[in-house]
Amino acid sequence: MPELSPSTIRPGHVSGLFATDRGLFLLPSRIGVDVTRRQAIGFISHAHMDHAASHALALCTEATARMVRHRLGNVTTRVMEFGQPQEIAGHRLTALPAGHIFGSAMLFTEHEKGSLLYTGDFRLGPSATAQPAELCQADYLIMECTFGHPNYRLPAREVVIEMLLETVTQAIRRGATPVISAYVLGKSQEVTKILTSHGIPVLQHPTIFEISQIYQASGCELGDFRLYEGRPVPGCAVIVPPKPLAPSGLPGALHVEKIHVTGWAMDAKRRQSAPRDHWIPLSDHADFDQLLDAVEQVSPQAVFCTHGPKSFVEELRQRGHDARWLA
């Protein structure tokens, strides 16, 4: 194991099990958990850059390791297979599927002072590309709660998929190029798989195409997709990163219909920012009801919430849970 570097950890901790210092650390080992600056040992739940860093030793799944190396260079990794406990720095650590994106993992840790489940970004229910989340009971739960407000009760997945397919199909019938805005890693690949599974071929922006090649090499087949080479192909959807297109639209395309695929589609202000575009509420995060369901399934002594509205803590307290905001 790499030598642990000095770390200043604030005293706020739970039974000596974890603490925070501009990020989450397991105690007493000081293993960083989704800490975004280099650590001697760091667990990376998935390869989105707000959860990853070039640690001296990164603990993650094989798929995440490949994507981290693509994004950060030659990072030394120790692969964690789902459901297979490993003894690391005095902790018994187990990676569990998170259902967020391909390769994403929750972290279950068992220590003499208690058990802890850290969800990272997660989603309950099916995914086109990610293994379904597997929760377990734990003494303490640290969970992301991005959509921890009742406004974010998303429609049923099958309804959302039908919305996406209908929107894309109708755009093609009108002679337009459906241009879908989606995150480069995760959402773009899931949307690709959904479309190709229903007979709609996909062209991808180069940065998305690079990630999709890693998915394919890691065993996650995405179907009929190709690189967008500067001109649309009749009958194909185009997927691009979530950046505003130029006023002229997509280079090479005369008639474009823009489609935003995100859980934030439930936000009226977001929709008003581009009222002529299509908004599809497909998310890779747990919605409000899934967050509540997760707490019930884990049945912890205490819940610590991150990355969401602090009002969700009060919501949990009103439901009888010992809930706190993790600074």
Looking up tokens 């065993």 gives 219
Which pLDDT belongs to residue 44? 98
Query: Mean pLDDT in each 10-residue stretch from start to end of the chain (327 residues)?
Result: 36 69 90 96 95 96 96 95 94 97 97 91 96 96 96 97 98 96 96 98 96 97 95 94 68 86 94 93 97 98 94 96 90
Structural element, H or E, at residue 152? none
pLDDT, tens digit, 9 for 90 and up, residues 260-293 = 999 999 999 999 999 999 999 999 999 999 999 9
- Note the CATH number of domain 18-151+286-325: 3.60.15.10
Which pLDDT belongs to residue 7? 39
pLDDT, tens digit, 9 for 90 and up, residues 84-108 = 999 999 899 999 999 999 999 999 9
Which pLDDT belongs to residue 10? 45
User: What is the domain partition of the chain in residue ranges?
Assistant: 18-151+286-325, 157-280
Which pLDDT belongs to residue 244? 60
The answer to whether the beta carbons of residues 205 and 225 sit under 8 Å apart is no
% of the chain residues with pLDDT over 90: 84
Burial of 145 (0-12, 13-18, 19+ CB in 10 A): buried
Count of H-run helices and E-run strands, the chain: 7, 19
- Peptide bond before 28: cis, by omega within 30 degrees of 0? yes
Which pLDDT belongs to residue 254? 73
CATH architecture of the domain formed by 157-280: 3-Layer(aba) Sandwich (3.40)
Q: Report CA-CA distances (Å) from 214 to 82, 186, 229, 265.
A: 19, 11, 19, 28
d(CA 319, CA 307): 20
